[in-house]
Structure 1
Amino acid sequence: MKIKGKAVRAKKSKGQRVKNELKALGLIDEGRMVGSDEDYVYVPVLERVPDKYEVVEKELETREKRKGFRELLVERFGEKGAKGVLSSYDVVGDIAIVQVPEGLRAHEAEVGELLLRGEKKVNAVWKKAGGREGEFRVTKLMHLAGEERSETEYVENGVRMKLDVRKVYFSPRLSHERKRVLGEVKEGENVLVLFAGVGPFALEIGKACPHAKVVGVELNPEAIKYFEENIVLNKLGNVEAVLGDAQKAAEGEFSGWADRIAMPLPMGAEEFLGAAFSAAKPGCIVHFYRMVDRKGGVEVLKERIRKAAEKAGREVEFIFEKEVRPYSAATMQIVIDFRTRQSDNP
């Protein structure tokens, strides 16, 4: 549909320059599209254009507003029907991963198509078909819409990461945490990342702190393959990917090595606290992640940390805690930062 309104007319040879100038001044009417004829371009504008521009009345095509995924989903299934999908989907690179609630299972193919339409950069949609499985905690996925491809490239805090969402564990929901932690690392620190995956914590710390030494330990061979590729991709000479068991690495090669330790395992990381204490230098700061109950879960976890420290002949000072993300009505993921030191009572 065309709408008549004000437009700046410019020779085609000057059209792009004029458009850039008007955009910088905030004068372009985004509701209409740029038009042209044999000799001129017509840039739709708002009121009060500087006198140096030639302003004419011109009929131009309207710009159709692209509806986002949320708008499309609510329009089709209503607020209540859309809620379970909107709170649980993630976009990693150009791949969307969605959890379809039981009430929409009969329409899951349509949900996938709406995701492709509403998320401009998404080219493939996969649905969660189960929980995290096996020793590598990888979520079972099934193809839902778009390209039947599970490898992608994801960019976060200036770092490029290749990964396969079907072969590795990865959560974009910790992006703000990774940014917070890399902001606390000091030059010259030895940083140990346990359960490193494809390397997001390690890579981002390594890039932000080129004089820190960063080691990521991961058990999944597929994740290590991508981790090593990502080190090369980002040209990071201060980051090392180690394939192996977190406990053996922390108690062996990296015993007493770390100034800072990140433990981004959503469940079960407390089983490796002893290993973390083995790797920690006196004064080491540990960033510890865990799913907990909203009611009393934080204090229960702190007590577990204290007991693990006592068993290792250490003491801890809790210095930071917060909810990282909600998981369910009763459960949340938290981070607790604590500093370690030798116990005064051997």
Structure 2
Amino acid sequence: MIHIAVDKEYAQAAIEYCKSSGLFNKKYRVQHDGSMVYIPVIRPPEGYKIVDINPIENNSIKDYNHSFSYDIIGDIAVIKGKKLDEAQKLVDIIKMRKEIKSIYLDSGVTGEYRTRDVKLLYGEDNTGTIYRENGIRLHVDIKRAYFSPRLATERARIANEINENEKIFDMFCGVGPFSVLIAHRIKCDIIASDINCDAIELLNENKRLNSLKGKIEAYCGDSRNLIKSFHDFNRIIMNLPHGAFNFINDAINSVSAGGIINYYEICDYETLESRMEYFRSAGLEIVYKRIVHGFSKFKNMYSIELKKL
């Protein structure tokens, strides 16, 4: 039975990609050997290592089909991409988790401030919670400011790349998961901005919740205007998957030669290829690109590291 072999670190993104692309074989279970994860596929996607191993039948397909259809943020579960009647069927399964106090249906992120349209399905009507990841605590309010737990591995990976005393601009910082984790781990100077002032209020609280080696200056405002007041960043983080490209020239102008831009975008493969061409023409070296997770049948969220030449 054909499987693709993926490093454990990237397994969740690969599973979501296979599911969104219609390649995942639901009849069989995902297997692992400690360091590698083996994902059963109907046909192999390009760019993955293929192995032929004995499959394990999935005797709990119903439960597995619910995987990745909801996020756990602290003591809150957020069901995404479901109609109300479909979401209600998931409530009885999710509420069995002892830590869950509230379950919400997320009907999508809207507006300039990237806020969720949420409806309470179960439990306490309290959209605020304390979320823990990678050794830090974050006060998250799912209604006031956008936050995704699915980037936990990505945030840890970026934090591990930071050198001491880097000057960093976190352009669309939200409640500060990138900035707080980086400043928690290493001495550095971070400018963090978001147009949503509620997000900045939560970021300032999250600075107080954690011990920080680095310094974070948080600003509420349009990152395009703010970035013009600063120059020579060693690194710029652009986590705005549906709009980062509109700000890429501002980032290029403000990052120093040899500096890094961590760029995120949700797009289809054709758009991705056009972005690659533009980045090269703008004097950027593409250090790497990878799929963070699937988004829809033809779109993925991509992480791209760019170096200014």
For 1:305 and 1:249, locate their aligned partners in 2 and report how far apart those are by CA, in whole Å: 23
SS of the counterpart of 1:86? coil
Query: How far is the alpha carbon of 1:87 from its aligned partner?
Result: 2.7
Contact 1:220 1:243 in 2 (8 A): yes
Q: Is the 8 A contact 1:96 1:126 kept in 2?
A: yes
Q: In structure 2, which of residues 225, 244, 256 is the aligned counterpart of residue 281 of structure 1?
A: 256
Report the Cα offset of residue 257 of structure 1: 3.0
Letter in 2 for 1:93: G
Counterpart of 1:243, as a letter, is C
Amino acid paired to 1:241: A
TM-score, normalised via structure 1 length: 0.68
Say whether the 8 Å CA contact 1:93–1:155 is kept in structure 2.
Answer: yes
Aligned residues: 251
2:136–2:210 contact (8 Å) kept in structure 1:
yes
Q: Determine whether 1:239 maps to 2:212.
A: no
C-alpha displacement of 1:100: 5.9
Q: Are positions 1:115 and 2:94 aligned together?
A: yes
Q: Runs of 4+ in structure 1 displaced over 4 angstroms?
A: none
Structure 2 SS opposite 1:176: helix
- Which residue does 2:234 correspond to in 1? 259
CA, structure 1 residues 100+331, in 2 after alignment: closer, same or farther (shift >3 Å)? closer
Q: What is aligned with 2:28?
A: none
- Which aligned pairs between 1:2-41 and structure 2 lie closer than 5 A? none
Query: Given that residues 250 and 278 in structure 1 are in contact (C-alpha distance below 8 angstroms), is that contact kept between their aligned partners in structure 2?
Result: no
Match of 2:289 among 276, 298, 321: 321
Residues 92-101 or 174-183, more deviating: 92-101
Residue among 193, 199, 210 paired with 1:223: 199
Confirm or deny that 1:336 pairs with 2:308.
no
**What does residue 61 of structure 2 align with?**
79
Matched, 1:304 2:278: yes
Instruction: Name which one, 1 or 2, has greater alpha-carbon Rg.
Output: 1
- What is the root-mean-square deviation in Å for CA atoms of aligned residues? 2.0
The offset of 1:241, in angstroms, is 1.2
Aligned partner (choices 64, 69, 92) of residue 88 of structure 1 = 69
- Deviation at 1:112? 1.8
Q: 2:190 aligns with which of 202, 214, 236?
A: 214
Q: Matched residues in 2 for 1:107 and 1:276: separation?
A: 42
- Larger CA deviation: 297-306 vs 221-230: 297-306
Whether the 8 Å CA contact 1:270–1:305 is kept in 2: the answer is no
User: 3-state SS of the aligned residue for 2:112?
Assistant: coil
Residue 69 of structure 2 aligns with an amino acid whose one-letter code is S
Aligned partner of 1:164 among 141, 150, 160: 141
Q: Counterpart in 1 of 2:102?
A: 124
Deviations 1:234-286 (A, max 9, x none): 1336122111111111112x1x2310111111111000011101221111101
Higher relative contact order (CA 8 A, sep 6+): 2
How far apart, in 1, do the equivalents of 2:86 and 2:209 lie?
A: 39
Aligned-pair CA distance for 1:233? 1.2
CA distance in 2, matches of 1:111, 1:328: 20
Q: 1:192 is paired with a residue of what secondary structure?
A: strand
The 3-state SS of whatever aligns with 2:144 is: coil
The one-character-per-residue Cα deviations of 1:203-223 (angstroms, maximum 9, x if unpaired) are 0010111x2111211110110
The amino acid of 1:226's aligned partner reads: L
- In structure 1, the partner of 2:178 is 201
In the TM superposition, 1:134-153 aligns within 5 A as: 134-153=111-130
Percent identity between matched residues is 31
Describe the SS at the equivalent of 1:267: coil
Distance across 2 between alignment mates of 1:233 and 1:81: 36
Q: Which amino acid aligns with 1:79?
A: I
SS in 2 for 1:135: coil
Q: Deviations over 1:154-186 (max 9, x none)?
A: 111111110210111101111111010001000
How far apart in 2 are the matches of 1:229 and 1:340?
33
Task: State the one-letter code of the partner of 1:179.
Answer: A
Is 1:99 aligned to 2:95, yes or no? no
Aligned CA distance change for structure 1 residues 132 and 106 (closer, same or farther; 3 Å): closer
Contact 1:219/1:246 (<8 A) preserved: yes
Gaps of 5+ in 1: 1-73, 310-314, 342-346
